[in-house]
Amino acid sequence: MKKTIFCFFAGLILIISIFPIVISVDNLKDNDIFISNELTFFNGGWLEEQNGIKILHLNGSYYDMGYQHGFLLKDEIVANFNAFCNWIVEKGFTYEKLVQRWNIMKPLLPLCYIEEMTGMADGSGLSLENISVYNVGFYLVVNCGSFAVWGNATTDGILYHVRSHDFPITIKDPESGKYLVENQLIIIRKPYDKYSSVSLTAAGMVRTSDGFNEKKIAAGMLSSWTNDETYNGICIGFRIRMVLDNADSINEAIDILITNKTLGYNVIVSDGKIPIAYAVETTANLSYFGTWDNPSESTRPFWSIKDTVRRSNMFIDPTTAATQRKRYNPSFFPLLNMFLKRTQMSGTSVTAAGTWMHYVAISKGIESHWGNFNLNKTISMLRDIYLGKTDIRFLIMQILGVYSTPYQWVMCPETGDFVMSFATKDKNAFENPVNYFNFYTLLKSTPP
């Protein structure tokens, strides 16, 4: 009998020595944790890589999704937070000031996103305050370009939604040496009792700047500075997230975007089911939304293009534009005025002249391919815009490095297809190879 007991414990010790024990994680119960050479699966969430592109799959409650995100990308989130803190100092902000602004916004934010950021904080080791400030702080300055085409503008009548995320690619964590753009990824979300969605973002972000959901609703934001501002509202990145989580129609999406507004923003929002897209302009107290044939879209010097809406970082509707710039028409000698900084918008160094030239470059690109857009043609044209091939003045701006671009993508909510490119630390997104994915395929995929 003693010999039998001895053999049992000896065998048990041998098994333990061969197979590592997975230690349970505080604050969570009944978790499934898979560990390989690279941690890829945790509590229903998992991380994969295709063609060098990281894809994070999140599932479950909001807290669970936050914990999955924080646990699987702990190092990347810490590096991004450090990079963010270094960047805000360079921009002349203080962390304490951003905390004050976050505390004003916090009471209006749906509790589910507080829960998700709490989960991320618990999973990553950062504080909830750190995660919260990191999620809202980048929206102080975001230069972007966006448009949507559908109907007669495309080869098949299907809607294509485009966004170029224009932002510095040089933001770096001084401790690890990691650049923010090195920690970009695709996120596939499957929240309980909400709609699934896809977005491109940086590690550690609960909010998002763009994306589309399973109901074929897409949205993407652009800064558009104004003197009509408040922090007593919901950050635009969380309103975009709310659209993806909750909206199944374009009217519902617009209602979310024009409620609890804060600073000045443009949004291109679309519904692939109809198909149709709207431009949305918001300040703290004003809202405008219209599709291509709304009279505001053709207020001179701006002009409308059939079955197309587009925006750069300025308002077109005269009422919202009055909160942004003294002179409505930014088209007079724009290159000269940009250099002389004569048309700065609402207390910023950003000129209406510069954003006008961006608008013209986008518009010329669209007009040159109108009627022939498909997924490939659209991403090719977007890259041509940023390479300066559609407008000589915008080429000069790009030679001067006015617009750097962490990522670009074209979404087709109807089919789920999307094509995207990420920047690297030394190349903009429009200079790097593109990759093709399908949202619905990724949504159905399982851990390897």
Pairing outcome for strands 184-191 and 53-60: parallel
pTM for the model: 0.91
Sign for the pseudo-dihedral over CA of 115, 66, 57, 380: positive
**Cα 261 vs. chain centroid, distance in angstroms?**
18
CA distance 307 to 286: 25
In the sheet that holds 210-213, the strands lie side by side as 33-34, 41-42, 45-50, 53-60, 184-191, 197-202, 210-213, 217-223, 265-271, 276-282, 287-290
Closest to 293 (Cα-Cα) out of 282, 279, 304: 304
CA distance 391 to 359: 10
Task: Tell me if 398 sits within 8 A of 388, measured CB to CB.
Answer: yes
Would you tell me how many other CB atoms lie within 10 Å of the CB of residue 229? 17
Which residues have CB under 8 Å from 329's CB, separation 6+?
300, 301
Peptide bond just before 413 cis, omega within 30 deg = no
pLDDT in tens, 73-130: 999 999 999 999 999 999 888 999 999 999 999 999 999 999 999 999 999 999 999 9
Task: Tell me if 148 sits within 8 A of 268, measured CB to CB.
Answer: yes
CA distance 212 to 195: 10
- Residue numbers of the chain with a pLDDT score lower than 70: 1-41, 140-142
First to last CA, the chain: 45
pLDDT in tens, 404-439: 999 999 999 999 999 999 999 999 999 999 999 999
Specify which residues 266 forms β-bridges with: 222, 281
| Per-residue pLDDT, 65 | 98
Closest to 303 (Cα-Cα) out of 359, 352, 351, 343: 359
Give 95-102's long-range contacts (Cβ < 8 A, gap of 24+): 95/133, 98/133, 98/136, 98/137, 99/129, 99/133, 101/136, 101/231, 102/129, 102/132, 102/133, 102/136
Pairing outcome for strands 41-42 and 210-213: unpaired
- All domains of the chain, ordered by start, with CATH? 140-171+218-435 (3.60.60)
